[in-house]
Amino acid sequence: MDVYGLIGYPVKHSLSPSMHEAVYEELGMEAKFCLFPVEKGRVEEAIEGAQALGIDGLNVTIPHKKTVANLDIVTLQGIAEKIGAVNVLDFTENGIEGYNTDALGALKALKSRDVEVKGKEVLLIGAGGASTAISFQLASEGGRIKIANRTEEKAYKLAEKVSNVGKAEGYPLENLEELIDKSDILINATSVGMEEDRSLVPKEFLRSDLMVFDVVYTPLETRLLKDARSVGAKTVDGAWMLVYQGAEAFEIWTGEEAPVNRMNKALREKLR
Ligand code: NAP
């Protein structure tokens, strides 16, 4: 039996077991996806324990993503090093490898809607964990990134870091109308809209030729996405990012292609 899991705190509401176990069933794998609540200060011990137990792969979630990226026992792969956060650990013959598939998940979510990022003006609202992963990934794809955040210093700081891989500028949240006017893609990477009927973007700022992506997935159709759809804009919901980050993780762990549609179906059933 293969064993995969998630470390974080808390983890009990995670949707990952439903999504991954649907894949195991679809592919006829004998495998289980377990939730491991791990308190701050015990993360390194937990990872070494998982390795010793022969666990096949781990997801990492809040509040441990940055901590894991700074552990000497983890070798960072790809864009995880630039982002400074890890959400996937793979136990290999060469040691423990750390990846950031949140970043790739967001890019693939956009690509699944035929959205090309290269050369596009991308406005991200928020400068926390989700925005950091997405802005690095989209900047390295050739997107021209603008980051607007309530705490504006955080937007400037993140934009400065992202400038090492591509084009990025930071802004205060007050300039939204003007920033959206000049954007092709708008991404809400804040928690605003989660379990509430609220958006940081007034509907009148939206237009039909805008691509609108919300990282929030509870509810599946946030106020921002409702407003965007009502003006005829293309939309991508946060569940797609979650599905693609999970699919990437599965592929890292097994070397097999993940049945994305099955994962998506399982996740949406659970969310509804
Ligand atoms: P985080 O690191 O805590 O960052 C939160 C961000 O939201 C900050 O930029 C914060 O601004 C902003 N914010 C919060 N409340 C606000 C308000 N009332 N007005 C304006 N800005 C506000 O959180 P995170 O990890 O980036 O997560 C953000 C959201 O993304 C969460 O809903 C999470 O569930 C979702 N997420 C989704 C996926 C996915 O796969 N779909 C993956 C990761 C995260 P300040 O800096 O000013 O505080």
Q: What is the pLDDT of residues 215-256, one digit of tens each?
A: 999 999 999 999 999 999 999 999 999 999 999 999 999 999
Starting at the earlier edge strand, list the strands of the sheet with 167-172: 167-172, 144-149, 121-125, 185-188, 211-214, 234-236
pLDDT given for residue 135 in this prediction: 98
Q: Whose CA is nearest to atom 34 of ligand 1?
A: 216
CA distances from 52 to 35, 49, 56, 95 (A): 17, 5, 11, 12
| Residues linked to residue 187 through DSSP beta bridges, in sequence order | 124, 213
Question: Which tokens is 148 given?
Answer: 């607007």
Sign of CA dihedral 139, 144, 149, 152: positive
Q: Whose CA is nearest to atom 42 of ligand 1?
A: 130
The dihedral formed by the CA atoms of 13, 17, 18 and 21, expressed in degrees to the nearest 10: -170
Pocket test for ligand 1, best of 150, 216, 243 (most atoms within 8 A of CB): 150
% of the chain surpassing 90 pLDDT: 99
pLDDT per residue as tens digits for the range 69-122: 999 999 999 999 999 999 999 999 999 999 999 999 999 999 999 999 999 999
Distance CA 232, CA 225 (A): 10
Question: Which tokens is 145 given?
Answer: 């990134």
How many angstroms does the Cα of residue 21 sit away from the middle of ligand 1? 27
Asked if 65 is an active-site residue, the reply is yes
The structure's pTM equals 0.95
If you average pLDDT over residues 260-268, what whole number do you get? 97
- The pLDDT-based confidence of 175 (bands split at 50, 70, 90) is confident
CA atoms within 13 Å, Cβ hemisphere of 206 = 25
How many angstroms does the Cα of residue 126 sit away from the middle of ligand 1? 6
Q: Are 63 and 23 in contact (CB under 8 A)?
A: no
pLDDT per residue as tens digits for the range 201-212: 999 999 999 999
If you average pLDDT over residues 21-42, what whole number do you get? 97
pLDDT given for residue 44 in this prediction: 98
If you average pLDDT over residues 176-195, what whole number do you get? 97
pLDDT per residue as tens digits for the range 121-154: 999 999 999 999 999 999 999 999 999 999 999 9
Instruction: State the helix-helix crossing angle for 16-27 and 260-271, rounded to 10 degrees.
Output: 140
- The pLDDT-based confidence of 196 (bands split at 50, 70, 90) is very high
Of 180, 82, 172, the closest CA to residue 132 belongs to 82
Burial class (CB in 10 A: 0-12, 13-18, 19+), 172: middle
Starting at the earlier edge strand, list the strands of the sheet with 57-60: 31-37, 2-8, 57-60, 88-92, 95-99, 74-76
Quick check: helix, strand or coil at residue 75?
A: strand
Q: Which of 40, 65, 146, 167 is catalytic?
A: 65
Question: Which tokens is 81 given?
Answer: 């090093």
CA distances from 153 to 31, 158, 159, 172, 175 (A): 45, 9, 10, 8, 15
pLDDT given for residue 272 in this prediction: 86
Question: Which tokens is 21 given?
Answer: 């176990």
How many angstroms does the Cα of residue 129 sit away from the middle of ligand 1? 7
Buried b / exposed e across 126-147, counting CB within 10 Å, b at 16+?
A: bbebbbbbbbbbbbbbebbbbb
Distance CA 164, CA 177 (A): 27
